[in-house]
Structure 1
Amino acid sequence: MAQFEQGDALKAEAIVETLPLPAIILSDSFHVIYSNNLAKTFLAEQSDLLIDNNSLVLHSSEDIVSLEATIALKQSKEILIKRKDGGPAWVCHVSPLSQSHEDGELSLLEVLNYVQNKIPSEKMIMEFYNISSAEAKLCVHLLEGLSLKCIANKTNKSELTLRTYLKQIYQKTGFKRQGELISNILITFLR
């Protein structure tokens, strides 16, 4: 991998600043190399992701492990970062960058659902994706950051039934993973 030179840093900062979402360039040790203005605003408004001593801090050890694993994969992937207040999880897209830095390999983290942070309604999801009401309700619960087990308890449906709904959603939408589905719904409705 190429070393992250001063000129590269300026180019990367200029590119990241044009992104329409909060974006942070960070090393594999979570050292923050650069964050755009939207990221600075986002970080100031909530306490689920913080920058302390130029390092990204997450409040959940599960989220730390998830982000570490995603960065180690060196593939673009969506992850969920839980919120302390129990609100909808932050959906983050993590992409490896081709440059390295003295602090290690670099990745770009973007918060996909920050712009409005409003979950689309069941009706909107149902009509846009041409799925059933039950399938759209499942999507809303997933967007709220709930696990299938929690959704099953909340809706008095079995996890098997919910997994069947999820498979039907995948067939109708062409998505193969839950993260893809959630990201697409958020990107579609939060523009």
Structure 2
Amino acid sequence: MKHILFVDDDANILHSMQRNLKGRCNEWDMSFFERPYDVLDYLNKEKVDVIIADMRMPELTGLELAKRIHQQHQDCRIIFLTGTADLQTAVNSINKTNVFRFYTKPCDLEDLCQGIEEALADLESESFKAIGNQALDHMPVGVCVVDLEARLLFSNLVAQNIFKAAEGIFLSPTRILRAENSAKTTALHEAIASAAFEEEEKNNGAIALPRHCGKRDLSIRCLPLGEAKPNQVLLFIGDPESPPAIDFLILSRLFGLTKSEAKLAAELSQGYTLEMAAEHIGLTISTARTYLKQVFAKTETNRQAELVKLVLTSPATIAG
């Protein structure tokens, strides 16, 4: 159940809210406080989703309270209730303390409830964004978002490691993506611009970036983010020198393989020959052939290429 907290130094206003919001008791867990410092103490012990605070309180103003709350409790939303005289202060506070919304007193109950619902929805959306970012960190390829100037706005862990390596693609001091030479940098920036304006027919949104360290080229795919973010582009960065790690325990569970069979399947899917895979996991070649037949039977595949395709499209390639 979502937790809503009200703080106002006027006990009559709190009692009125408590009485009028009884119908919401089955949806929200509600707490009511007269003293802001009691709220700060309470937040050290309890999780609160939305706080409705009066702007003018003798011990601590609503603005001061909001600042202290957001120093330690970034995962809650704050709504101010203010008199007309405090209106400009309330407007300024939205930028200074990340206050979600404010209402002038007296506030219509339906409007306030709608504001609380929207604050809860915003909190939920933020939670899903965090989950989405965590999911991207498990992707076996680099994922990042750039603006039209190729300035990096977001990157997952794989992309961050690629940028740290500084081979083929680099981050300038101003976080602009660059390649190893000016011609490739121009080509990269043109691919980004083409994707933003959905002109993929020029290069299919794809570009290879060479690395002068003897490693194979990085592969880049640029895709538009659409109407929601028209000036931003999604980049996928593939590094053929860093194939996705394959979790043999996941393979074992998915296909009913023994650990040795799963290890063999994982090695083969990394591009090793049967002889090399057998050596890596300490098997004789004859034992490896026997295990491979068992793997084919359990995975319902007939050829090594089929097995590799099955493994590489399974969740076993997702980082744990």
What TM-score results when the alignment is normalised by the length of structure 2? 0.31
* Structure with the greater alpha carbon radius of gyration: 2
Which of structures 1 and 2 has the larger relative contact order (alpha carbons within 8 angstroms, sep 6+)? Answer: 1
TM-score by length of 1: 0.48
